[in-house]
Structure 1
Amino acid sequence: MDSRPLRRLGSSLRGLALASLIANIGIIVTGAAVRLTKSGLGCPTWPRCTDESYTTTPEMGINGVIEFGNRLLTFVLVAIAIACVLGALARRRRSLVKLAVAVAIGIPGQGVIGGITVLTNLNPWVVGLHFILSIALVAGAYALWRRVDEGDGDPVPLVPAPLRQLAWVTVAAGFAVIAAGVVVTGSGPHSGDQGAKRNGLDPVQISQVHADLVFLLIGLTVALWFALRAVNAPAAAVRAAAVLFGVEMGQGLIGFVQYFTHLPVALVAAHMLGSALVWTSTLAVLWSLRSRPALTPATPARVSEPIPA
């Protein structure tokens, strides 16, 4: 059996992992497009698009095309994920295989949750879970992308333990911001379909909670940046914290403008993309605080020749 295609996948694994990361972020944006165009029930059932057809029909109009198109993108993600698994197998590194398999299994699982959102007529809590799982897949794809060029040795910390703990608190705050944003979305007007229910929470109050968490995240990021500079942390770590702050400020600006302009669809879509970028920037900070050198095989001890009597 010719193993050259498998070896090529192995040598291209970093590019494939990056493609997986971009695709998983991209489907967040296309999912937002489905909701913002009121196409959430463009295909009113699942796994079929209609009771008689797996594909959209002309009678379903543009909403059916948008929803069905988003479903097709899942197959693109699956194809990339399978290529990543094969590439990881070619590298013969268990850590890479585990990450690639986790992402590959998560994508069809995410598709099932998407189907449940349709079958529950876009229940806002199920829609929120659908988004949270996308965030988890982004984290998995990001980890795979970063691990490709790392070794399998134990991680070596580059900053003191309190700073690593502060970074983890920042990651937790970032996730809390995203989760609160999901709840805000479930209370707002963009339900994905004219008849879809909302979660019943007060949009003003839950938006205030979301904003408070954003301020907390920004404060933690600024504190982390100053602390990294104070301990002369590696330039990459300081730069990653600065990038995170810049992304947060851009995302915050979009969030405030969309709120005070009554949630125009273009800004809501940009805010969805921004949430994924804030998340990946947060992960980048965490990754910059340690290194993982390659394991070097131990050199066997040289046995001296016995001295003749």
Structure 2
Amino acid sequence: MPETTIPATPTTRSTPPPSALWGRALTVFAWLSFLSETIIIGTGGAVRLTGSGLGCTEWPLCTPESLVPIVEVQGIHGMIEFGNRLMTGVVGIIALVVVLLVLRLFSGRRALITTLWYAVGGIAAAAVAYAIASPFHIPAFPVASAVLLLAVIAAAVHAVRTTPARRDLVLLSWLTLIGVVAQALVGGITVLTGLNPFIVGFHYTSSLLLVCITAAFLVRLKTAPGPRERAVPAWFAAVTHVTGLALAVTIVFGVLTTGSGPHSGDADVLRHGFDATVLAHVHSWPGYILAALVLFLTVAAWVLRLEPRRWLLVLVIAILVQVGVGVWQAREGLPPVLVGIHMVLASLSAATYTVVVLHLKRSIPVAP
């Protein structure tokens, strides 16, 4: 009896395979991860710039008796601080979904089950650590959070080592989740230390790095796997990395300048003790060097028609706007709105630079 062939119907032709659906979901949540990491820099800046850093005096509770702020006691400052804490939960959920989608696509169901066991073990270990620390009057919740962080790191190491393909995406997704968990812990330490300016600065810098990691994930998600080769001349790559150093120095001095200025997060918090006026000038020097380097790279890339030329154009625009906002806020006496815009633009500039660096190489076509 001859084999019966079932003709393809319009429905069967138009229905994408499950892997394509999972891939689309990963793309959507990867973009949500990038956007949420950028937004939380804005909400964290709002906490600091409105003097709401101690709007919730405790952590993880907002007050010794309540998880949420008491409006009659803490007012708008408590609401702003608690809103930023809620945003941390949103960022964490999105980062977790990205990890699970990556494992589903590239590691399979067994990896998901293993990750679940790591989660159960980490929660149990954190509960034990909390129970042990409490009778000795040790800050129990930070200890439990640190134990949970170690469990997440262990799960990430296992996932990266056992994934057969796209370890770059697995690593980047786990780094984001680890960073979010660590940021929650650092945020709690920031409150418990009374807004120590160095810890606050570290908190912001870590958030900026997470924006860069999520941007890198988006680029690698659209990049073909396999070996890569340099797509630009060696001198161009070297100048690009020097530009990255100038960007890092500019951001560090910007963080120190903000920590020494009027926006420390609370009216009663002590600053670094540095002269904010001097730091503002020191912060501007590497900023101008950065702008000149980016402008040079952009012109060279368009003349030579190099791979990262379009993203360099985006970067030069971002840097010029950032310089303009920086000069404007200095002349206007550091109004909170301009300082907040300056903070968010710094993270977007760093993310754009990350994209530029990833375009210094291209995939090598592999014969089937």
With normalisation by structure 2, the TM-score equals 0.76
Q: Secondary structure of 2:64's match?
A: coil
- Determine if contact 1:177/1:213 at 8 Å carries over to the other structure: yes
Q: How big is the shift at 1:90?
A: 2.3
RMSD (Å), alpha carbons? 1.8
Residue in 2 that maps onto 1:61: 75
Pairing of 1:48-87 with structure 2 (within 5 A): 48-58=61-71, 59-87=73-101
Q: Secondary structure of 2:255's match?
A: helix
Q: Is 1:18 aligned with 2:31?
A: yes
Which amino acid is the alignment partner of residue 182 of structure 2?
Answer: G
Encode CA deviations 1:206-227: one digit per residue, 9 max, x unaligned: 1111100101101111221232
Residue in 2 that maps onto 1:303: none
Q: 2:228 aligns with which of 155, 159, 183?
A: 155
Residue in 2 that maps onto 1:266: 337
Q: 2:59 aligns with which of 37, 42, 46?
A: 46
- Determine if contact 1:152/1:294 at 8 Å carries over to the other structure: no
Residue in 1 that maps onto 2:185: 112
Mapped partners of 1:94, 1:232: distance in 2: 31
Q: Is 1:195 aligned with 2:268?
A: yes
Encode CA deviations 1:144-186: one digit per residue, 9 max, x unaligned: 1111121221222111111111111111211211111000001
Residue in 2 that maps onto 1:141: 214
Mapped partners of 1:37, 1:5: distance in 2: 47
Residue in 1 that maps onto 2:319: 248
Greater mean deviation of Cα atoms: 55-64 or 248-257: 55-64
Residue in 1 that maps onto 2:138: none
Higher relative contact order (CA 8 A, sep 6+): 1
- Determine if contact 1:9/1:84 at 8 Å carries over to the other structure: no
Q: Is 1:171 aligned with 2:185?
A: no
Which of the pair is proportionally richer in helix? 2
Structure 2 unaligned residues grouped into runs of 5+: 1-16, 107-165
- Determine if contact 1:39/1:193 at 8 Å carries over to the other structure: yes
- Determine if contact 1:124/1:191 at 8 Å carries over to the other structure: yes
Mapped partners of 1:102, 1:243: distance in 2: 26
Structure 1 unaligned residues grouped into runs of 5+: 298-309
Encode CA deviations 1:204-257: one digit per residue, 9 max, x unaligned: 1111111001011011112212322343323xx222222211111111111111
Which amino acid is the alignment partner of residue 345 of structure 2?
Answer: G
Mapped partners of 1:294, 1:94: distance in 2: 19
- Determine if contact 1:150/1:294 at 8 Å carries over to the other structure: no
Encode CA deviations 1:191-213: one digit per residue, 9 max, x unaligned: 11110110010111111111001
Residue in 2 that maps onto 1:305: none
Encode CA deviations 1:78-114: one digit per residue, 9 max, x unaligned: 1111111111112213221111111011101011111
Residue in 1 that maps onto 2:139: none
Q: For residues 106 and 296 of structure 1, do their structure 2 counterparts lie closer, same or farther at Cα, with a shift above 3 Å needed?
A: farther
Which amino acid is the alignment partner of residue 66 of structure 1?
Answer: I
- Determine if contact 2:219/2:355 at 8 Å carries over to the other structure: no
Mapped partners of 1:295, 1:184: distance in 2: 49
Q: Secondary structure of 1:12's match?
A: helix
Pairing of 1:198-209 with structure 2 (within 5 A): 198-209=271-282
Q: Secondary structure of 1:268's match?
A: helix
- Determine if contact 1:13/1:148 at 8 Å carries over to the other structure: no
Q: Secondary structure of 2:272's match?
A: coil
Which amino acid is the alignment partner of residue 350 of structure 2?
Answer: W
Q: For residues 119 and 52 of structure 1, do their structure 2 counterparts lie closer, same or farther at Cα, with a shift above 3 Å needed?
A: same
Greater mean deviation of Cα atoms: 21-30 or 225-234: 225-234
Q: What's the % identity of the aligned pairs?
A: 38
Matched pairs, number = 292
Mapped partners of 1:232, 1:31: distance in 2: 39
Q: How big is the shift at 1:296?
A: 5.8
Q: How big is the shift at 1:28?
A: 0.4
Mapped partners of 1:166, 1:269: distance in 2: 30
Q: For residues 6 and 68 of structure 1, do their structure 2 counterparts lie closer, same or farther at Cα, with a shift above 3 Å needed?
A: farther
Mapped partners of 1:285, 1:10: distance in 2: 24
Q: For residues 32 and 140 of structure 1, do their structure 2 counterparts lie closer, same or farther at Cα, with a shift above 3 Å needed?
A: same
With normalisation by structure 1, the TM-score equals 0.90
Q: Is 1:30 aligned with 2:43?
A: yes
Mapped partners of 1:9, 1:202: distance in 2: 53
